[in-house]
Structure 1
Amino acid sequence: MDILRFITAGSVDDGKSTLIGRLLYDSKSIFQDQMEAIERAGQVNGQINLALLTDGLKAEREQGITIDVAYKYFSTPKRKFIIADAPGHVQYTRNMVTGASNSDLAIILIDARKGVIEQTYRHSYIVSLLRLPYVVVCVNKMDLVDFSEEVFLNIKQQYLEFAKDLDLKSIHFLPISALNGDNVVDTSPSMPWWKGKSLLHFLEEIEIHTEEESPAPRFPVQNVIRPQTTEYHDYRGYAGQIRSGHFTVGDSITVLPSGLTSKIKAIDSFDGPLTTAYAPMSITIRLEDEIDVSRGDMLVVTGKEPKISQDLEAYICWMDQKVLTPGSKYLLRQTTNAVKASIRSLEFRVETSTHEKKEQTSLGLNEIGKVTIRTAKPVAYDPYSKIRGTGSFILVDEGTNQTVAAGMLL
C-alpha cells in the first residue's frame, strides 16, 4: 500500500483535532487504553472529546488549542495515512510550514457559521506557496447550520472567488460535521443533497503523483562507502536517497557541481543488487570511474542537469525571534549539502492574509518574504515548483545551531 501524507489547517476551534480524532476513531485506529483515557478526560456536548487524541501537550489541553504539529498514523485496507495537525494561530505559521513541507494534500477547515475568514486566506496561501497539489476544503459544523446546502454552496463560491489568485491545482469541497461524524468516514443521511464521497473514501481513492515520476533523476550523495576489507577490497560506493526520477545501470552520470562524468556500474540496496532504482529508495551507486565524489555532491543523468548557481532567489518563512536583515550570514542546508551563505537583499514581505507584497527592510518571526541569497560555492538545485526535494532548504545560525528559516528556491 502507498502512503498519503496530508495536513489539516484552519482557524482556532474550526475542529481540526476533532476531525482527525473522528478519522482515527471511526477507522478503529486507536488502542483501547487511549480510548479509556479520553473517556475519563470528559465529554463535549455529551460526546467523547476526540480532539484529545491529537492535542497531546498539556498546554494544548488546558487552552483547547493546537500548538505543536501533531503527527498521527492510521491505515485502512486501501491505504496508509500520515496526518499532520497544524496549529491555526498566526504566531505558529512556522509550524504549519514545517508540517506542510512533506505533505501531498491539505485539508482546510472552514466553520460553516463563520465562512471564509482571514486565517483561511493565510493557510491557503501557504499551501499554494508550498505547492501542495491537492486541497480539500471541508466545511465543518454543518450540524450547527441545519445541514443547509445553501450555506455550503455560498462558502464554496466565496472560497473559489479568492482562490483564483492562487496557484492551487485541484480544489475539492466537502460538507462535514466532525463532531457527529457526518461525511467523515461514511456519507451522512442528514445531507441527502450531497451526492459526493465521504472524506475518508475520497482520501483512499485520490491518486497522488510522487516525485519518483519526475523525468529529472536526482541523487544527493549522503556518504561515501569504502569498507576496505578483504572481501570488499576495491569497493567504492555512494550512498543516499533518490530525490526524484530513477537511475539504471549503464546510465551516463554527471557529478555536480564539479561536472565530472562517468557511468553507473552497479546499484546496491539492502535487499541486494538492482538494475533500476526509483525515488524515494535509499541505495548505493557504484561508478565505472574512480572520480572525486563526496557528501553534498549530486549525481544526475547527463543531459538532465538542474540549475547551478551561487546567486539564488527564494521565498522563506522566518522562524527566529531575531529578525532577518540583509547582509546576515547563515549556513544553507539543501539536500545533503551545506554551504555558507549571506542574504543579499529582501525583495518584499508577503501579507499572507491578503497576498499583498510589501517593501520591508527586515523579516520577523513567522513572516514570509522573497530574498536573494549569495552562496560561497555553486549549488545544484531545481525550482521548488518542479522538484520539492532539491528545491527546498533551511538556513541555520552557525552561532546557535538553530534553524532560522525554511525556504523554497525559485
Structure 2
Amino acid sequence: MGTPVSDGSISKRSLRKKAGLRNYDENLMDELIEKHLGGTLKKRNRTKEDLEKETETEAMIAFSLGFPIDALLEDEIRAGVVRKLGGKEQNDYIVVRNHILARWRDNVRMWLSKGQIRETVSSEYEQLLSSAYDFLLYNGYINFGVSPSFTSQMPEETTEGSVIIVGAGLAGLAAARQLLSFGFKVMILEGRNRPGGRVYTQKLGLEGKFAAMELGGSVITGIHANPLGVLARQLSIPLHKVRDNCPLYKPDGAPVGKDIDSKVEVIFNKLLDKVMELRQIMGGLATDISLGSVLETLRQLYAVARSNEERQLLDWHLANLEYANAGCLSDLSAAYWDQDDPYEMGGDHCFLAGGNWRLIKAMSDGLPIFYGKTNAVKNEDVVLLWNLSNGSISTSKSFIKENGNYFEVFIKENGNYKDRNPNRDNKG
C-alpha cells in the first residue's frame, strides 16, 4: 500500500521493513520528555532557549500523534477552537495544545486535569488552555483507556441519555468507555458469544504454559499515535517490535535468496506505481475495476514475475497487501484501495506480548455487553436494525447493512425517527 512521505515519493507498506530486533520500550516517549524538559514540570525559571527547546520537543510529540506542527486539524477548525484562523492566537493555541498532549503522554496512567495544566501554562492563556483541553478530552486524544485511576472520573449518575452500541469489537468497546466518561448510559449488543470482534487470541498449550496465536488482528501498526499502544502502557504489557530482517522461505523450507527477494519486491512496488498512474488517467472509471485485476493485467503486460519462484514471491507481497487492507484484492477498488494512507500512524509495528486478548479483556471489563444478539431492537431513543449472523454489519463506521445496502442508524428527533440516509424511506 502506498504511503505519502515528506519528499513526495511513495513508500510501500510492508510489515517486514519496519523495526529492529529488540523489544519495544513503551516508555521511550517518557524518557524523551524527561530528557528535554527535565525531571519536573512545575513552573520554574526557564531561559528563552529552554522554552524554545521545550516547544520544539512538544511539537514533535504532537506531530508523532498525527497533529500538524504549525496548523490546526480540520476537526479543530470545525470546533472553533480559536476565534480567528491564522495569526498569534492560533499559534499560541497550537503551543498550548501540543503541551497538553505531551503532558498526558508523559504519564498515560493518570488523569490529566486542567488544574495540572495551569501549573505550567501562564494564566494569560486560560481561554486557549480550556479550548485545547476540552477539544482533546472530548475527541479522545487524552484521558482515555483502561487505567484504574480513570474510574474516579466517571460520573456517578447518567446525565446525557442512553446509547445502544452494536458490536463489542475494539471500536465498540472504546466508544462505550468514552460515552460512559461523558455521562451516557450505554448497552453493547454483540452477535458472537465473546467480545473483540476481529481480534481473537487462541491459547495453545498447557495451563500456565501456553503460546498465544492470533486468529484475527495481530499487529499493532504505527505505535506512536495508535491508542492500542497507550492501552499497552497502561496495562504494563511489553511490546515486541516486528523484526527488520525477516527472511522468507520456500514451500520446501529452503531460504529465499536475497537477490530474487529484492528483485520481486522492486517489481511489486513498480506495479503499484503503475496502478496509481493508471488511476490518474482513468479517473472515475477505475472505481469499478478491482485492484487485483489491474495488477494481474499489468504483470502480464510487462512480462514480470514469470518464473514459478518469482510468482510465489509476488503472491507473498500480494497476500501481505490483502492483509494490510483486510480484504481480497478482487474486492478492492483500483481507485480507492489506498484511501486510508493519510491516516496511517507513524512508528514501529509491534506484537503484544501474550496476545491481544489482554487488551480486549481490560476494555470489556465492567461493560454491559449482551451476547448472541442478532435482531432488531427499539427503545425510546434509538432504533437499530442489523443482522450479525451473516456478518453484514459495519460497526467501525456505525453503518448498518440491510438487504445489501448500508444506511445509518435511525435517531429520534422531535418524537420522530429520522433516517440519516435520504435515499431511503423514513421508517419512523
TM over 0.5: no
Q: With CA pairs under 8 Å and 6+ residues apart, which has the higher RCO, 1 or 2?
A: 2
Query: Would you tell me which structure has more helix in proportion to its own residues?
Result: 2
Give the TM-score of the pair, scaled to structure 1: 0.24
Query: Would you tell me which structure has more strand in proportion to its own residues?
Result: 1
